[in-house]
């Protein structure tokens, strides 16, 4: 499949009073046409920073792209000026933010906010843009669009507002849609509706989606491929089945085992000990090593490269090195692996 | 189960905001349930269903509009003198959702934790007071050096531990935990839940655990109540609720949870809840009825029969 977006060796730092925070430390991935790539990881792992870099939305004063490129349509987005980027943002690449309560302008009608990108990017006349806005509202499942188009955000519920945000993001049929925790602020039943809507729309207009979340249930629902981030790096990437049923990195093991399953009753939940690393002084070796019960001496000394598991599946852990000892993954992971082997 | 000691009885509790005005909100509209000593009762529902208001009304952060909350047979609400109020405040504590907002940023951790100790005069001397703080910090998995720091120096999970230490400081019997883990990262959630379970085993605590993350609720709770628009629609032992959800709202809620399993996600069928399915006739009595021992559903006489048949299957 054709790559629509490629991120190559991206390094981003923030300059703070305390010193340089190395938020992203060599991130590589590509996004294929029409697929959904989920990025998971805990707060501070760098998932939002990565997508903000793609959108060129990093704060200009204290952030710096140290190295790397973001290729979209053959252009390196990191080299573009603000003005050039404005032509792409909202048109070819658009974004859905986490909190629908704050990402809409409270002083503008919903209709005006949907028409804005259409008039700006596609030179539509006001009346044509209005027609299209009505279509979009219908597309995202908002009843009575003729009435709703004249209303203000406060007259919408949370789920309905997120639909409006999606309508704005989809207005110009973007090639890439970045959704940063789009359902975290919503209730489960509303979340299910929004996820169904996004999948449905993806089929209709064939967009590629980068979906950021920390909810593994949501990942299993929407993703084609999954990238797991930890400490500013991607530690494991693969298809959704590979990451869920044949995970290789101890951090992925920890994430999967710490979720209570609905069918079994465990006595104690597995908890990853410790806290995420401080990227002000990133550790010399593997950032996960201090919390990793499988850590070896080399984990403390040298960062593991990406080891290949299959053509689509890579993981950065020394355990995959041919010389590494065989280890037993946690029970919850082993039962998943058995399922994976059985399916093959 | 019936012979277990009731710690808390909630009888026909109502909480209306803006009473008598056009914008009256019936946040809790007549709910009744008991909480037994030593158990964890989970309360789930969507935002705005009244689950947090229920917790806050039980602990008297809100005055109830109508109904009773009996703690060991004594009414929580109503006029009380200072002494009774203090006694009651000591036995019931709360852990809040957002550990970033629930700790005073200008107070040292030791003072945050010891505030209850001071108010109730539990420490004999200053040394005694600090000993208690140190012990509490160690109980929740922090160490004594943390006592002299300020809340901003801690991560979310550590702050929630401080919130738990504060709640434990006055040796309560009953703790209301209002979404204690929803602001935390997945890897930290498990740490906090394990800590809460450990404390329950060691100290015989009783919890009311309010949340919208249903998989965590099932894990920690003995019984679960499901709320919908200010009403309790189903109350059952945790396993039973998941295996035999009877009320259509419970079914729709359970079918909406995405599971971390791509295989089952591909085949999942979501149910939607339409409140019109009930078609209650005028004058029909709709209330909590027991379908099987310990499993209550909010329904009419006619629905009860239907649910009982469903349950047998």
pLDDT digit of tens for each residue in chain B (313 aa)?
A: 456 889 999 999 999 998 888 888 889 999 999 999 999 999 998 888 888 899 999 998 988 899 999 998 888 888 778 888 888 889 999 999 888 889 999 999 999 999 999 999 999 999 999 999 999 999 998 888 899 999 998 888 889 999 999 999 999 999 999 988 887 777 788 888 999 999 999 999 999 999 877 878 888 999 999 999 999 999 999 989 988 999 999 999 988 888 888 888 888 888 888 888 888 888 788 889 999 889 999 999 888 988 988 886 5
Chain B residues whose CB is inside 8 A of the A191 CB are 256, 258
- Asked if residue B208 is part of any domain, the answer here is yes
| Mean of pLDDT over chain A | 89
The verdict on B92 and B135 lying in the same domain is yes
Output the pLDDT for position B70.
92
The pLDDT tens digits for A94-133 are 999 888 878 899 999 999 999 999 999 999 999 999 999 9
> What does the DSSP 8-state code read for residue A290?
G
How far apart are alpha carbons B52 and B179 in whole angstroms? 9
The verdict on B177 and B267 lying in the same domain is no
The pLDDT tens digits for B73-90 are 888 888 778 888 888 889
The verdict on B48 and B17 lying in the same domain is yes
The verdict on B98 and B222 lying in the same domain is yes
The verdict on B134 and B249 lying in the same domain is no
> Does A339 have pLDDT greater than 80?
no
Positive or negative, the Cα torsion across A228, A230, A236, A241? negative
Contact at 8 Å (CB) between A210 and A4? Answer: no
Contact B257 A275 (CB under 8 A): no
* Residue that terminates a domain, selected from B184, B207, B229: B229
The verdict on B45 and B143 lying in the same domain is yes
Contact at 8 Å (CB) between A71 and A30? Answer: no
Chain B residues whose CB is inside 8 A of the A217 CB are 215, 257-260, 265
The pLDDT tens digits for A25-60 are 999 999 999 999 999 988 888 888 999 999 999 988
Is residue A126 packed enough to be buried (19+ CB in 10 Å), middle (13-18) or exposed (0-12)?
Answer: exposed
> What does the DSSP 8-state code read for residue A21?
E
Q: How far is CA A97 from CA A81, A168, A180, A213, in A?
A: 23, 11, 5, 11
Kindly report the nearest CA distance between residue A311 and chain B, in angstroms: 20
Give this complex's ipTM.
Answer: 0.78
- Asked if residue B12 is part of any domain, the answer here is yes
How far apart are alpha carbons B41 and B176 in whole angstroms? 10
CB-closest option in B212, B216, B260 to A256: B260
* Distance in angstroms between the alpha carbons of the first and the last residue of chain B: 24
Q: At how many degrees (to 10) do helices B109-119 and B126-139 cross?
A: 120
Of residues A260 and A167, the one with the higher pLDDT is A167
- Asked if residue B63 is part of any domain, the answer here is yes
CB-closest option in A158, A240, A259 to B262: A240
For the domain that residue B41 is a member of, what is the CATH number?
Answer: 3.40.50.300
Q: CB neighbours of B160 closer than 8 A, spacing ≥ 6?
A: B95, B99, B180, B181, B183, B184, B192
| pTM for the predicted model, two decimal places | 0.84
- Asked if residue B171 is part of any domain, the answer here is yes
Q: How far is CA B168 from CA A201, A237, B135, B145, B162, in A?
A: 50, 42, 11, 19, 10
- Asked if residue B234 is part of any domain, the answer here is no
How far apart are alpha carbons B166 and B38 in whole angstroms? 20
**Could you tell me if B123 lies within 8 Å of chain A, comparing CB atoms?**
no
Domain encompassing residue B41: 6-229
How many domains would you assign to chain B? 2
**Could you tell me if B155 lies within 8 Å of chain A, comparing CB atoms?**
yes
Gyration radius (Cα) of chain A, Å: 21
Query: For chain A, what is the largest distance between any 2 Cα atoms, rounded to a whole number of angstroms?
Result: 68
> What does the DSSP 8-state code read for residue A13?
E
Query: Closest Cα to residue A164, out of A133, A195, A206, A121?
Result: A133
**Could you tell me if B274 lies within 8 Å of chain A, comparing CB atoms?**
no
Probe site for chain A from B237, B249, B261 (most A CB atoms < 10 A): B261
How far apart are alpha carbons A187 and A217 in whole angstroms? 14
Chain A residues whose CB is inside 8 A of the B155 CB are 275-276
Q: What does the domain layout of chain A look like in residue ranges?
A: 3-223, 249-343
Q: CB neighbours of A187 closer than 8 A, spacing ≥ 6?
A: A158, A159, B46, B47, B212
The per-residue DSSP string of chain B comes to -TTSPEEEEEEEEEEEESTTSTT-EEEEEEEEEEEETT-EEEEE--TTSSHHHHHHHHTTSS--SEEEEEETTEESSS---HHHHHHHHHHEEEE-S-TTTSS-TTS-HHHHHHHHHHHTT--SSHHHHHHHHHHHHHHTT--GGGGGS-GGGS-HHHHHHHHHHHHHTT--SEEEEESTTTTS-HHHHHHHHHHHHHHHHHH--EEEEE-S-HHHHHHH-SEEEEEETTEEEEEEEHHHHHH---SHHHHHHHHTPPPS-HHHHHH-------GGGG-PPTT---EEEEEETTEEEEE-HHHHHHHHHHHH-
Q: Which CATH architecture has domain A3-223?
A: 3-Layer(aba) Sandwich (3.40)
- Asked if residue B164 is part of any domain, the answer here is yes
Could you tell me the two tokens for B85? 């109020």
From the CB of residue B33, how many other CB atoms can be counted at a distance below 10 Å?
Answer: 19
* Residue that terminates a domain, selected from B179, B209, B229: B229
Q: What are phi and psi of A250, to 5 degrees?
A: -60, -30
Is residue A38 packed enough to be buried (19+ CB in 10 Å), middle (13-18) or exposed (0-12)?
Answer: buried
> What does the DSSP 8-state code read for residue A281?
S
Beta-carbon pairs below 8 A across chains A and B: 108
Query: Closest Cα to residue B191, out of B236, B166, B155, B157?
Result: B157
pLDDT confidence bin for A337, thresholds 50/70/90: confident
The verdict on B224 and B287 lying in the same domain is no
Output the pLDDT for position A206.
86
Nearest CA in chain B to A255: B187
**DSSP percent split of chain A into helix, strand, coil, nearest 5:** 40, 25, 40
Query: For chain B, what is the largest distance between any 2 Cα atoms, rounded to a whole number of angstroms?
Result: 67
Contact B187 A191 (CB under 8 A): no
Kindly report the nearest CA distance between residue B287 and chain A, in angstroms: 25
* Residue that terminates a domain, selected from B201, B229, B257: B229
Chain B residues whose CB is inside 8 A of the A200 CB are none
How far apart are alpha carbons A321 and A324 in whole angstroms? 5
Gyration radius (Cα) of chain B, Å: 21
């Amino acid at each position: 499949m054709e790559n629509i977006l490629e991120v190559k060796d991206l390094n981003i730092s923030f300059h703070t009073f305390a010193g340089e925070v190395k938020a992203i430390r060599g991130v590589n991935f590509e996004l294929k046409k029409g697929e959904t790539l989920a990025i998971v990881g805990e707060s501070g792992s760098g998932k939002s920073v990565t997508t903000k870099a793609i959108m060129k939305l990093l704060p200009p004063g204290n952030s710096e792209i140290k190295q790397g490129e973001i290729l979209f349509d053959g252009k390196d987005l990191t080299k573009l000026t603000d003005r050039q980027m404005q032509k792409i943002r909202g048109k070819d690449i658009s974004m859905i933010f986490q909190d629908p309560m704050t990402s809409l302008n409270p002083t503008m009608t919903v209709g005006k906010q949907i028409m804005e990108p259409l008039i700006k990017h596609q030179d539509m006349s006001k009346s044509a843009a209005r027609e299209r806005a009505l279509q979009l509202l219908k597309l995202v499942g908002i009843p009575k669009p003729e009435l709703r188009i004249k209303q203000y955000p406060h007259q919408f519920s949370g789920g309905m507002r997120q639909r409006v945000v999606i309508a704005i993001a989809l207005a110009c049929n973007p090639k890439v849609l970045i959704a940063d925790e789009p359902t975290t602020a919503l209730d489960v039943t509303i979340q299910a509706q929004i996820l169904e809507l996004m999948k449905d729309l993806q089929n209709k207009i064939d967009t590629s989606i980068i979906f950021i979340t920390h909810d593994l249930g949501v990942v299993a629902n929407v993703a084609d491929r999954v990238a797991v981030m930890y400490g500013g790096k991607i530690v494991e990437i693969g298809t959704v089945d590979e990451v869920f049923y044949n995970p290789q990195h101890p951090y992925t093991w920890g994430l999967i085992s710490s979720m209570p399953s609905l069918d079994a009753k465990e006595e104690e939940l597995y908890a990853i000990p410790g806290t995420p690393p401080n990227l002000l002084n990133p550790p010399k070796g593997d950032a996960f090593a201090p919390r990793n019960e499988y850590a070896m001496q080399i984990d403390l000394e040298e960062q593991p490269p990406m080891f290949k598991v299959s053509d689509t599946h890579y993981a950065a852990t020394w355990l995959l090195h041919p010389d590494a000892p065989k280890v037993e993954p946690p029970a919850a992971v082993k039962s998943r692996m058995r399922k994976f082997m059985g399916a093959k | 189960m019936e012979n277990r000691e009731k710690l808390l009885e909630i009888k026909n509790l109502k909480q209306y905001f803006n009473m008598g005005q056009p914008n009256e909100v019936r946040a809790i509209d007549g709910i009744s349930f008991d909480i037994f000593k030593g158990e964890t009762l989970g309360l789930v529902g969507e935002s705005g269903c009244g689950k947090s208001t229920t917790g806050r009304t039980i602990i008297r952060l809100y005055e109830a509009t109508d109904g009773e909350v009996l703690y060991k047979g004594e009414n929580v609400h109503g006029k009380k003198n200072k002494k009774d109020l203090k006694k009651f405040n000591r036995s019931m504590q709360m852990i809040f959702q957002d550990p970033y907002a629930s700790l005073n940023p200008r107070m040292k951790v030791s003072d945050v934790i010891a505030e209850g100790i001071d108010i109730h005069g539990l420490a004999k001397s200053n040394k005694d007071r600090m000993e208690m703080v140190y012990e509490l910090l160690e109980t929740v998995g922090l160490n004594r050096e943390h006592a002299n720091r300020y809340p901003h120096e801690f991560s979310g999970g550590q702050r929630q531990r401080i919130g738990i230490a504060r709640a434990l400081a006055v040796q309560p019997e009953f703790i209301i935990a209002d979404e204690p883990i929803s602001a935390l990262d997945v890897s930290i959630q498990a740490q906090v839940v394990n800590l809460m379970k450990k404390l329950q085993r060691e100290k015989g605590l009783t919890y009311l655990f309010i949340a919208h993350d249903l998989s965590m609720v099932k894990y920690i709770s003995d019984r679960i109540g499901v709320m919908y628009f200010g009403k309790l629609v189903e109350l059952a032992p945790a396993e039973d609720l998941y295996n035999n959800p009877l009320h259509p709202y419970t079914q729709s809620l359970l079918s909406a949870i995405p599971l971390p399993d791509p295989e089952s996600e591909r085949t999942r069928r979501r149910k939607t809840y339409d409140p019109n399915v009930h078609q209650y006739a005028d004058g029909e009595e709709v209330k909590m009825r027991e379908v099987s021992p310990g499993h209550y559903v909010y329904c009419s006489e006619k629905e009860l029969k239907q649910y009982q048949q469903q349950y047998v299957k």
